[in-house]
Structure 1
C-alpha cells in the first residue's frame, strides 16, 4: 500500500492520485511531480504557509473559498488557482455540494515562469472555460504516469506542456460574478452549433435560435476562445466539408450544395479562409495519395 506524502490532505474521499517524480532535478526546467483528483469532506480546511512545489488546482464540482494574498476568493466550477514555495494559502469547502478538484504539482524554473505568465501567481484564482477539457487532459496524464514504460516520464512532461498551453487557450477574462453564467451560456451555444452546424450559415441565425444578439454571442466566444462565434461555426462546417472531399470523394460542387452555398466559388473562398488551400487542391492531393 502506497503511503501518501505529508502534503496530501486526509480530509478527502473518492480520491485518485499518481506520483511520478518526488525527487525532481533542480537542473530540469519543468518536471511533473504528482497529481490527483479528490472530493472534499464537508469540513475540509487546508492551511499552509508554503508548499514544496508549484501546484495548479481547479474545481470541477461544488464550491469553496480560497484565502490568498490577504483576500477571500470564491471558488466555483471552472475556478483555477496556483501556489508554491513561500505562498501562504487556505482552502476550505462550502457544503452541501462538496468540492471536487483536480491538481498537478510541478517543479523547475520554467514552472515558475509559465505560471507567472498565465497570471496564476497573482494571489487570486482565474476562470477557465470548458473545464471538462482539463479533466480529459488530466486523465491522459494519469494514465501515462502509471505506465511502466521508459517513455512515460517524457510523455507526461509533454502533456503537462500541452496542459499549460490549454490554460492559455481557455483563460477567461470576466468579473467573477459573471463567469459561471457566461460559461453556461457559452457551453449551450457550443452544443447547439456542434449539433446543427449544417443548419446555420451565419452568427445571426445561431443568435436568433438562442435568443441573444449576434454581438453578445460573438463577444462570448471571443472571451472563451479568443476568436468570434463565426470562426467556430465556419471551422466545423469546413471540417465536415474536408471529410466529404477526402473520405467520400465528393466533387467540390456537390459539397458546396450540401453545405448550402449558392455556388462552388463561394464555398471555395470559405474553405480557403480556414485551411489556406482551395478544396479542389485538397481533393487532388488525397486522391493522388490513394492512387499510389
Structure 2
C-alpha cells in the first residue's frame, strides 16, 4: 500500500482507507485514486477551498453538517454528496453519534463526465433510499482495492461506475414527503419480491402492506416507471421460466404453482413478458 496522502483526515478512528494510484497526465477512462471507510471523532472537521479529484462521500451512520459552496446541508444516514476542484466544502460532526462515512476519489478524463451524468455529481447533495445497497458497493470497491492484483484498478473503476448508477437509481428528490413516498414504494416492492409466488392481485398487496390501492399504484409508477401489477407479473414469469426449463415440467403445473387458476391466463401473461408462449419457450429451451 502506498503512503497515505495528505488529504486523508487524522480526526477519525476505525479507518479502512486505500490509496491506489494517481492518474497519469491525459489518462483516459475513469481512475480510482482512493477509497475508504472511516468513523469520525466527535471533533471531526474538514475544510477545503478545492480538491484535486472528483470526490463522493456517503454517510452510513451518525449525523453531521456540510457546507458546500455556502449552502448548508444536514448529513445523516443515506446522504451522498460530491465535491471537486474549486468547490469549497466544510464537513463536520455535529452529534454525539459520530458519523461513519465512506469516501471515493477519482481522476482521469472520464471521471468528471461520469460524475456529472449521475444525480450526485458536480457538487450536489442527494438522499439515497437504499443505504445497505450503497454500503455493499463501497465495501466491494474497498475489498478489491486491498487485494492489490493486476486487475484491482480496473475492477474498482468498473465498480465506481456501478456505484454512480446505483446512487442515481436510488436518489430521492425533494423533501420529507418524497422520503416517505420512497419508503412506501420500497416497502411495497420488497413485499412483492418476498411473496410473489402466492400473491394474486394488487388488492392483496394493498391489504397486506396497508396502502390504499390507488396510492399504491401511483407511488409505484412514480419510482419504478411501470405498474405494480406488471412488476408482479415479471417476478412470476421469471420464476416460471426457470421452472419451464426443467424437461419434466408441465405448463398447467407451473401455472398452478404460481397461483394461476386458468392456464390460459398464465400463458397470456407469460407471452406478454417474453413474447412467446410457454410451449414455444419449452421447445426453444
| Shared fold (TM-score, shorter chain, > 0.5) | yes
Superposition map of 1:271-290 within 5 A: 271-286=270-285
What secondary structure, in the 3-state scheme, does the structure 2 residue paired with 1:32 have?
strand
In structure 2, the partner of 1:130 is: 130
Check the 8 A contact 1:53/1:107 in 2, yes or no. yes
1:37-94 Cα shifts (integer Å, max 9, x gaps): 1112222221111111111111222222211132111222221111011100111223
* Structure 2: runs of 5 or more not aligned: none
Identify unmatched segments of 5+ residues in structure 1. Answer: 287-292
Whether the aligned pair in 2 keeps the contact of 1:55 and 1:83 (CA below 8 Å) is yes
How many Å separate the matches in 1 of 2:194 and 2:119? Answer: 34
The equivalent residue for 2:172 is 172
Distance 1:7 1:249 in 2: 62
Q: Match of 2:197?
A: 198
Provide the residue aligned with 1:289 in structure 2: none
Distance 2:191 2:78 in 1: 21
User: Where does residue 267 of structure 2 map in the other structure?
Assistant: 268
Q: Distance in 2 between matches of 1:25 and 1:273?
A: 51
Aligned counterpart, 1:220 = 219
TM-score w.r.t. length of structure 2: 0.88
Report runs of 4+ in structure 1 exceeding 4 Å deviation.
Answer: none
Equivalent position of 2:236 in the other structure: 237
Say which is worse superposed, 241-250 or 135-144, in terms of deviation: 241-250
Q: CA deviation at 1:207?
A: 1.8
Deviation at 1:247, TM superposition (A): 4.7
> What is the alpha-carbon distance in structure 2 between the residues aligned to residue 216 and residue 272 of structure 1?
28
User: How far off its partner does 1:122 sit?
Assistant: 5.2
Aligned to 2:113, the other structure's residue is in SS state: helix
Q: Is the 8 A contact 1:170 1:224 kept in 2?
A: no
Counterpart Cα distance in 2 of 1:94 and 1:235: 45
Pairwise CA distance, 1:184: 3.7
Q: Note if 1:16 corresponds to 2:30.
A: no
- CA deviation digits over 1:144-168, x for unaligned, max 9? 2223432222222222222222223
* Pairs within 5 Å for 1:67-216: 67-121=67-121, 123-173=123-173, 175-216=174-215
* Corresponding residue number in structure 2 for 1:290: none
Q: How much does 1:137 deviate?
A: 1.7
Distance in 2 (CA, whole Å) between partners of 1:227 and 1:135 is 27
Structure 1 match to 2:5: 5
**Matched-pair contact (CA < 8 Å) for 1:204–1:213:** no
The 1:119–1:240 alpha-carbon spacing in structure 2 relative to 1, beyond 3 Å, is closer
Q: Pick closer, same or farther for the CA change 1:38–1:217 going to 2, 3 Å.
A: farther
Change beyond 3 A, Cα 1:165–1:249: farther
Moved more, 123-132 or 182-191: 182-191
